Amino acid sequence: MRPLKLWLLDADVIIDLIRLEIFDKLTALHEINAASTVIDEVKYCIRDGVKVPIPFRAKCVDMGTVREVSAEPEELAEALNRIPEDQRSVIHGGELESMAVLVRRDDLVFCSCDAATIRTLPFLDLSERGISVERLLKASGLTQSSFEDRHTEAYLKSNLDIGKRNKLNRLLSTTLSSR
C-alpha cells in the first residue's frame, strides 16, 4: 500500500483514532496533516468513562508526526461563500479551516466522521477525496474488531449522497427561481 497524505478533517476523528489506540499506528504508515484550529480542539478523550487528557500538540505536532497546516483568510472566506447559508451554522471553525485547506491541497485524502461536515463537501467539489475510518484502516492493514456507525464506509457514502442531493436541489431551485 502506498502511504496516503491524509487530511484529518475534524477533531472528532483524531480523538476517536486516539481513543481506539490506532492513531500512532497510522502516523507510522501515512503522512498525517491537520488544520491549526483542529489541532487546538484535540484536548481529551473518554476511555472507560474517564476523561483522559491528550497532549496532542506536544506529542504529535511538536514531535513532527502530524503536520500543521493553516488556511489564509481569503481561503476561509471562499470556502464559506460556497457553503449554503443554512448549513454554515453546523460547521465549526476547525472544520471550515480544514475544508479551505482541502480545496487548496488536491494531494490530500480527507477522513472525517462528522455528518454535517461530510454533507457540506459536495458544495466544495470534494466528494471524491474522502475515506472512512473503516476503509482507512483496511487500506492500512490495520484491524479493528468493531466500528461505531460513524466510522463505517456506509456512513461516509450515505452522508456524501445526502450532500450531493442537497447540492442538486439547491442548483435546481436556483435555476427555477431565476426563470
- Check the CA dihedral 89-78-132-94 and report its sign: negative
pLDDT of 118-149, one tens digit each? 999 999 999 999 999 999 999 999 988 778 99
**pLDDT at 157 exceeding the cut of 70:** yes
If one looks up domain 5-177 in CATH, what number appears?
3.40.50
Q: How many CB atoms lie within 10 A of CB 26?
A: 20
Q: Are strands 66-69 and 50-53 parallel, antiparallel or unpaired?
A: unpaired
d(CA 14, CA 16): 5
Q: What is the mean pLDDT of residues 60-71?
A: 96
Domains of the chain, residue spans = 5-177
**Type and span of the H or E element at 32:** strand 31-35
**Count of all residues that appear for the chain in the document:** 179
Predicted structure pTM score: 0.90
